Structure 1
Amino acid sequence: MTTTPDAKPPNDGLPYRLITGKDDAHFCRRISEALAQGYKLYGSPSCTFNGTNVIVAQAIVWPAAVKE
């Protein structure tokens, strides 16, 4: 359920976040939860390989914090 974004993120969240982690279901859930709270994706995801796992990063922003 997507909420209408307020001027500030919920729970004293930051207006800009970079979520990183192993490319797995847990990472996808973290991104999905942030989107459901009202955050928006910012830019393209990035990935690298640490020798064992693919590590991904995705920036998200609170819409009221972005000046267009």
Structure 2
Amino acid sequence: MSKIYRLLTEDDTSDFCHKVSLALSKGWELYGPPSMAFDAARGVMRCAQAVTKEIEADYHPDMKLGQQ
């Protein structure tokens, strides 16, 4: 059994909330609080949320984390 980690990022829109909600519905758990930062080059706020998940398989760097 392994614990895997992902950092979900997106512009500060409902798309970010949907991305996090989808991960939660697939068994991922929030890891710490969300973060926000201003992307001056694009003129938008960006959001990030770390999530973790326990999986039965052994971790391997080639695995597609979003498909776990």
- The alignment's TM-score, normalised by the length of structure 1, stands at 0.69
- Report the counterpart of residue 51 of structure 2 in structure 1: 60
AA aligned to 1:27 is: F
Name the structure where strand makes up a greater proportion of residues: 2
CA distance in 2, matches of 1:55, 1:16: 19
Q: CA deviation at 1:27?
A: 1.0
Residue in 1 that maps onto 2:30: 41
More helix by share: 1
1:21 to 4, 7, 10: 10
Structure 2 unmatched ranges of 5 or more: 56-68
Q: What is the TM-score when the length of structure 2 is the normalising length?
A: 0.69
What letter is aligned with 1:57? A
What amino acid does structure 1 have at the position aligned with 2:11? K
Q: Which runs of 4+ in 1 moved over 3 A?
A: none
| Aligned position for 1:11 | none
Residue 66 (structure 2) aligns with: none
User: What percentage of residue pairs aligned between the two structures are identical?
Assistant: 38
Coordinate RMSD, CA, aligned: 1.9
Q: Which residue type is aligned with residue 14 of structure 2?
A: A
The alignment partner of 1:44 has SS state of coil
